[in-house]
Amino acid sequence: MASLLKSIQIPGNINEVQGPSAIQNKPVVFLQHGVLDSADAWIVNHASQTPAFVLARAGYDVWLGNSRGNKYSNSSADSKNEKEYWNYDFEDMGDYDLPAAFEYIRNVTKQEKLAYIGHSQGTSQLFYSLSNNETYFQDKISIFIALGPATRLTHESSTLLRILSSNVTRIALNNLCEEHGIYEIFPYNWLTTGAMDFICEVIPEICQAIVYLTTDQYLEEDDYERQQVYFGHFPAGTSVRSLNYYGQIRGYGEFMRYDYGKDGNILNYGQETPPIIDITKIQKVPIALFVGEDDEVATVIDNRWAKDQLKTLVYYQEYKLGHLSFLIGKDGSYFTQDVMNLLNTYHPLNLPESQQAI
């Protein structure tokens, strides 16, 4: 079933001359958020260091992707109630959604290549895509910058992910959802996002506890004020299958394809168990890994493993950050300095100095 995807463009500063010709002279940067999130993630921090605004001020044409099924990228009300509509995970995003977004952006901007910056699930889907179909992507991506890279999850300490990765828990939850026709999880509405916004304002300790138990080991690394803003936009909705998939990856201890069960695996893969997503197959696209030392989801140990697998790695650095710190951290220098330096090397601006923002 087709999904309507919405990308948000920030073509420049508010006082900058706009128009098709001006935009088409700018290099494109595409940002893809993580699971349960939305494009809002890239603009919730202070304007001086939130990624989307840093890029736009520098002179890039910024595009913010939205995963299918979230509050921006959804279909009609009728189709949203259908099981088929929610039968997706990050493999589908890599196989269909990223190519669709890239082709649309190329048609609008006339730029042949873009720089890709992903966070969490936004990295998983491109790691899968590059290992499965790099021939398509190699001429379209100048560099892949991975923030909080999520591949193998054998050493994560996230309480939520550990619960989801238990076979007993996963099977019970999936059966319960199936029985009641629930295929969407944590949609953007008053009962989820609205409640989080209210709770974070009235009882902020609850929100801090949620972050501690799921993503970030040390809360002092995050900007408390921006954390409240973030939870005014999160969660933004996804499929039950998407969360189940990460539970499988954690349970198997491998970065692997979706597990359909023995019969389903034979039908889809020709073997009883799901195959490994082999990131050693990536041969062309330059990759940069930005790893949080205090990330409870995409840990240092798992990313050191990924580092050893990748043959096109051009940058690897561990930062005093948690998983959400890449979005709401107090210290945004990893982006304002290191990410921007990488872009200057692999995806440089071609604007005259007079047109580059302050």
pLDDT, tens digit (0-9, with 9 covering 90-100), for 3-26:
789 999 999 887 775 665 556 689
Distance CA(209)–CA(244), nearest Å, equals 23
Amino acid letter, residue 170: R
Instruction: Give pLDDT, residue 298.
Output: 95
Would residue 323 show up in a list of annotated catalytic residues for this protein?
A: yes
Per-residue pLDDT, 351: 55
Q: What pLDDT score does 104 carry?
A: 97
User: Which residues does the chain have with pLDDT short of 70?
Assistant: 1-2, 17-24, 75-81, 160-161, 163-165, 190-197, 202-203, 206, 209-213, 216, 218, 351-358
User: Could you give the CA distance from residue 348 to residue 357 in angstroms, rounded to a whole number?
Assistant: 15
What backbone phi and psi angles, to 5 degrees, belong to 346?
-100, -15
pLDDT of residue 1: 58
Position 358 scores a pLDDT of 41
Our answer to whether residue 120 is catalytic in this structure is yes
184-185 and 287-292 beta bridge pairing: unpaired
32 close to 41: Cβ distance less than 8 angstroms: no
Closest CA to 238 of 89, 39, 356, 63: 89
Question: Catalytic annotation on 48?
Answer: no
- What confidence score (pLDDT) does residue 17 get? 57
Q: Which of 45, 90, 53 is nearest to 227 (CA)?
A: 45
Alpha-carbon gap, residue 126 to 339, rounded angstroms: 18
Task: Using DSSP, state whether 295 is helix, strand or coil.
Answer: strand
Of these residues, 119, 233, 323, 347, which one is catalytic? 323
Q: How many angstroms separate the CA atoms of 94 and 144, rounded?
A: 14
Active-site annotation holder among 295, 302, 325, 347? 295
pLDDT of residue 263: 97
List CB contacts of 218: < 8 A, sequence separation 6 or more: 294, 322
Does pTM top 0.75 for this prediction? yes
Task: Specify whether the backbone of 271 is left (phi greater than 0), alpha (psi in -120 to 50) or beta.
Answer: beta
Domains along the sequence of the chain with CATH: 8-355 (3.40.50.1820)
pLDDT at 173: 80
H or E element at residue 114:
strand 114-119
**Catalytic hit among 3, 120, 129, 325:** 120
Residue-level pLDDT at 213 = 54
Q: What pLDDT is stored for residue 189 in this prediction?
A: 73
Q: What is the pLDDT of residue 108?
A: 95
Partners of residue 61 on adjacent β-strands: 28
